[in-house]
Structure 1
Amino acid sequence: MKIARRRWWIYLLLFVLVMINYMDRTALSVAVGPIQKELNLSSTQVGLMLSAFLWSYLLFLIPSGILTDRFGPRVVNAVSIVVWSLATMLVGIVRGFGGLIGARLLMGVGESSTYPAAGRVLREWAPASERGRAASIYNSGAYAGPALGAILAAALITSFGWQTMFVIMGALGFIWLGAWLIWFRDPSKATWLSGPERAMILEERKVPGEQPQEGKPKGGVLSLLRYRSMWGVALVQSAAVYTQYLFLTWLPGYLEQVHHLSIMKSGLFTAVPYIVAVLAGIGLGIVFDRRLKRHAQSTARRRYIVAACLLASSVVLLTPFFSDVTVILILISISMTCISTTVSMNLALLGDLLRSRHLAGRANSIAMIGGNTFGAAAPIVTGYIVDTTHSYNSAFVVAGIFLLAGVVVALTLPRHPIGDEESAHAHGFDDAIAAPVAQ
């Protein structure tokens, strides 16, 4: 009997959530030119402004993960999108460099729960055999957002100015909020699911060794940090997200300053690599799931895909050797697609390795801290490099080095299960003494 796939509506809701999240992040990147001119900011100040939301984002990731595991993703996502949508609107209302920094810090607080909550939804809703494609769908929102956001923000700035653009962009989150509150529940309580589909989700979301658990989740952040695999997933995120944020925050400015494109053209050209990453990323997620669905969960083989994607994404190292915009966009499109797939497969790998879905919020928070610690540095480091060298070439080289280092991490660290509190205390930090994992 063919089972319906209504659960894919949940994946779509997550995709739109992440897309709006990144549309709001991208808006400032597109508006950098007029804001920098109006406020007379240096490139270093612009880098600080672009990365400010990541400071509070990092600070609130662990609390957001704990709150997600305590209250569930339905409540946490609803509150968070209200906070960051209001913060985005404030960027267009406040005046001065300090006000912009403050609004961006508030935005980071709101956005901090998105991936921890999405990771918890992934463990609750996605059967193991489609965990990769579910992760690739919602993570593709991180690339659809900048693509659509760059075009929409550029059009709004051209027509109404950058202040009005931020107010309109921030208001979009409230539309998503209505759909989320109407449709999202735990699959055991979602009445719009058919009986067979609900039963299949509840059965297949389990992983080997998972024990039934009621009430508050057992274990915590420190117990998860006893596992090398947890550190491996977090470090892989750092390797990929550094380059992701280089593109997210500086690509429009790079196209304007180096290739002398208008704001509208830079918005359109910025969208190209992101559109490619969305389509190719989802396609690769489906392909890899079909290849790995029988073995990924028990063998951690998904890490080989993660390593291969990181290696392919390092083509960004070739960017300084070309001046043709078309060639550069091709290289960035390849790199961005592989980074998107890296992050999706890495989060799916975390789902494969994690032995308790009740700790998914915390585990995904740790992974996001790994990624965004380095991601927060990317705008600042890039701004400093541009100020001191008057070129973006060294910035692309630094990104490529991070990606190559991530290949080594992906192959060596995330290899063994990440257990609950009891198994964490039993095995200690060296999870290599845990039960051997077939290679």
Structure 2
Amino acid sequence: MDSRRYRIAFLLLGMSLLSYVDRATISFAATGIAHDFRLTPVALGFLFSSFLWSYSALVVPMGVMVDRFGPKRIAGLGLAVWSAATVAGGLVPGYGSLLLTRLVMGGAEAVSNPSGARVVRSWFPAAERGIVTALFNSGSYVGPALCALIAGPLIAAFGWRSLFFLSGVLGLIWLLFWLRMFEQPERARWLGEGECQHILATRDTKQPGHATGYPKASGLLRLLRAGPGLWGVAVTQGCNVYAQYLFLTWLPSYLRHVLKVPTANVGFWAAVPYAVAAAACIVAGHASDRLLRGRVAGGGRRLAVAAMACIVATVAAIPFAHTTTMAILLAALSLSGIASTTSLNFALLNDIVASPSDVGVCMGFVVLVGNLFGLTAPIVTGYVVSTTGGYTAAFLAAGTLQIFGAASALLLSHGAIVASHISNTDAAPPPRTRECK
């Protein structure tokens, strides 16, 4: 069987990677920004968190737009806007205008996860969701790792503003690839006939106990009332994202100020755990696909999600590491758990959402809850550092949350997500095998 469909997986990887490069620029440029704009740790915490405010506000509407207008146009528009906003971040004269560019960037980046989930559902057999979702999500860790490696030399040579210019321009270049290559499988002329028919025949699985065919789009409120599945995925994601954004925003500062890593070496040490996490989440996604063998309906993947959430809890041990090497090893283990939990949790969501017409809005809700947790992490950590002079309480809080995340996955994330008003007569007819191209 041909595997040209994986070109789409690497398009998604690039989109995710660039979005996280743009997010990470602020943390690696923090020392220069704080010096130029005379910022306190609390002010930095709010700046680190700011893009999540607009991201959270718009992610559900963006999910609805992806379901209605398709991922090509909506993701392309978002990529253009967030890349332009990142470039603008290198031109700002002060704190307020930099905050504004982060808000614009965050609102535009709200398209990424709903688009990615809908693309995975449209383009890949159900038996491949784990590995493809992991490839998409691995960009969340490859991006910060690359940013960590290039940030130090670039800032040393050209100043912190150059990091914003480079990351924004790379996003605009990737937009050209996205617009040229992406289509639905039925319309992709570069996709072979046999592979196209294979995708159409295997990308959905029948949920037990529910109508055949594709239920009509249900609306978020109906889906939330239908059962615990959507809530379970969302709560697990929230606990996980809190730890993710603790690392994304404060890890360079922790290395520099607590572990006394020289500024020239911070980028390397920060990149290591992200690189390990990117590889680990791909391995975990592939393993879950192999174990489930396409039997994904009913939420069987939730066991793996809960196991990975328990691994994330090792974040609580980081403040008790007395050497840089031990702290980095613990960070790598915890970030590997974070990356794997996110990948498997997103794949689990696609497993249990009954209708492709609801994937975007469900993903939007899950990401919203995740970001409501995540946006507090930089701010809470800023206050912890300001009041205690250390990071111990911040890491302990992140570790404790993972126990709740694992319990949510085990107890709630099961059964099909389908609105209770959908009946056999409401369901749309089973999809016909359409002619490719």
TM-score normalised per structure 2: 0.94
Q: For residues 292 and 304 of structure 1, do their structure 2 counterparts lie closer, same or farther at Cα, with a shift above 3 Å needed?
A: same
* Structure 2 counterpart of 1:157: 155
Match of 2:309 in 1: 310
Taking the aligned partners of 1:394 and 1:333, their CA distance within structure 2 comes to 20
Equivalences for residues 191-206 of structure 1 within 5 A = 191-206=189-204
What is the CA–CA distance in structure 2 between the aligned matches of 1:105 and 1:294, rounded to whole Å?
A: 40
Residue 212 of structure 1, CA deviation: 4.8
- Tell me, yes or no, if the aligned pair for 2:298 and 2:416 is still in contact at 8 Å: no
Contact 2:126 2:294 in 1 (8 A): no
> 1:158-177 counterparts in 2 under 5 A?
158-177=156-175
Which stretches in structure 1 are left out of the alignment for 5+ residues? 427-439
What is the distance in 2 between the residues matched to 1:225 and 1:425? 20
Aligned to 1:352: 351
Q: CA deviation at 1:20?
A: 0.2
The alpha-carbon distance between structure 1 residues 51 and 128, as it changes in their structure 2 partners (threshold 3 A), is same
The 5 A counterparts of 1:101-140 are: 101-140=99-138
SS of structure 1 residue aligned to 2:107: helix
> Could you tell me how far apart the structure 1 residues matched to 2:74 and 2:287 are?
32
Q: Could you tell me which residue of structure 2 aligns to residue 268 of structure 1?
A: 268
> Secondary structure of 2:187's partner?
coil
Corresponding residue for residue 23 of structure 1? 21
How far apart, in 2, do the equivalents of 1:397 and 1:88 lie? Answer: 33
Aligned equivalents of 2:357, 2:392: Cα separation in 1: 44
Partner of 1:85: 83
Seen in structure 2, the aligned counterparts of structure 1 residues 425 and 274 have a Cα distance that, compared at 3 Å, is farther
| Counterpart Cα distance in 2 of 1:128 and 1:134 | 10
CA distance in 2, matches of 1:321, 1:22: 28
TM-score by length of 1: 0.93
Task: Measure, in 2, the Cα distance between the counterparts of 1:263 and 1:105.
Answer: 28
Correspondence 1:278 to 2:278: yes
Which residue in 2 is equivalent to 1:405? 404
Summarize deviations over 1:5-56 as a string: whole Å, max 9, x none: 1111111110110000000100110010111112111100000000000000
1:17-416 equivalences in 2 (<5 Å): 17-209=15-207, 212=213, 218-226=217-225, 227-295=227-295, 297-416=296-415
**TM-superposition CA deviations, 1:237-257 (whole Å, max 9, x none):** 001100000000000111111
CA contact (8 A) 2:214 2:356 kept: no
Q: Look up the equivalent residue of 1:258 and give its one-letter code.
A: V
Residue 421 of structure 1: how far off its partner (Å): 6.8
- Deviations 1:141-184 (CA, angstroms, capped at 9, x unpaired): 00000000121222211110011221121111111111111111
Distance 1:221 1:126 in 2: 24
Identity percentage over the alignment?
39
1:407 to partner: Cα distance: 1.1
Structure 2 gap segments, 5+ residues each: 426-437
Q: Is the 8 A contact 1:280 1:337 kept in 2?
A: yes
Q: Conserved in 2, the CA contact under 8 Å of 1:233 and 1:410? A: yes
Deviation at 1:264, TM superposition (A): 3.0
After superposition, the C-alpha distances for 1:322-366 in whole angstroms (9 at most, x for unaligned) are 120000100010010011010100011011101101111101001
**Contact 1:28–1:50 (CA under 8 A) maintained in structure 2:** yes
> 1:219 is paired with a residue of what secondary structure?
coil
Q: CA RMSD in A?
A: 1.6
Other structure's SS at 2:188 match:
coil
**Residue 288 (structure 1) shift:** 1.6
Alignment partner, residue 433 of structure 2: none
Q: Which letter does structure 2 place at the counterpart of 1:387?
A: S
